[in-house]
Amino acid sequence: MATDPLTFEERPVGLRRPILLLAFAGWNDAAEAATAAARFLCRAWGGRRFALIDPEEFVNFGLSRPTVRLKPGTTEREIVWPSTEFFLCDTPGLARDVIIGLGTEPHLRWRGYCRAVVELARRCGVSLVLTLGALLAEVPHTRPVRLTGFATDPELAALLGIRPTRYEGPTGIVGVLGSICRQEGLDTASLWANVPHYISAVENPRATLALLRRLLRLLDAELDLHELEEAGVQFDAQLNTVLAQNRKVANYVKQLEAKDREALEEAPLESPGELSDASELMAEIERFLREQPPPEAGGRN
């Protein structure tokens, strides 16, 4: 008999109109912007794990391997499986409770996986399922981060500052989950950051910051984002140094800036389509950034 992949370690009660916020590593998470935003909120709001989805049915362990670690204060080893974990943030300063789900995009049985997420939402009385994503796009890093997305509720879409998309093409677990939530009658929304494709292999604090600011506006909450803002300034300074030292990179960014000025206000959701080949530029930029000294203590978490 099949076992239920959803396990509750604690049964939360009396939740205040909870929102389920989800981010997945992998295809939906360019430059790790979405998962970094979710992890930041989880730390800031003292999220405690209360449930998980077992990966056995959904993950190819040859592609997403479990890890081994020492148990705290012992020499005994334990296996850490790539589960999807759910954390409850019920900080008194929040107007409503937030459940944060973090995991890696599953490889198998997406519909069964999404049913497990919907079941958690039902049991917790979730009023909104909100997914985060980050996509690669032909946008210059010198422009403000563009956010796109969708929402089942027009008022929520207006609050998030997003417009409907006409994108058609491949989708990830975020798109599938949003569709299944709508079919199940759950209000859902998705918020995506557009990440410059030529700096996709390094974490992008500016994209993470853009997602966080929009989320905090939605939740009518405040957080100290000073460390992320400093990391964004340092990130920009490093890229400006690249432009000053490499004419090829600088010319490419100027071309993107010109294209961006002519672009429509709406950007594609979930996939940038066909991107120009900037592999040489990416290699040069990544090499430069890797050679930079690590940030001083007190920088980005």
* Structure confidence at residue 278 (pLDDT): 58
3-state secondary structure of 284: helix
Q: What are 78-112's pLDDT values in tens digits?
A: 999 999 999 999 988 888 999 999 999 999 999 99
Low-confidence ranges of the chain (pLDDT < 70): 1-2, 164, 261-301
Go through the domains of the chain in sequence order and give each one's CATH number: 6-290 (3.40.50.10900)
Q: What are 269-293's pLDDT values in tens digits?
A: 444 444 555 566 666 666 666 665 6
* Structure confidence at residue 293 (pLDDT): 60
* Structure confidence at residue 129 (pLDDT): 97
Full DSSP string of 48-81: EEEEEE-STTT--TTTS--EEEEPTTSS-EEEE-
Residue 115 carries which side chain, given as an amino acid letter? R
Nearest CA to 161 out of 219, 210, 214, 221 is that of 214
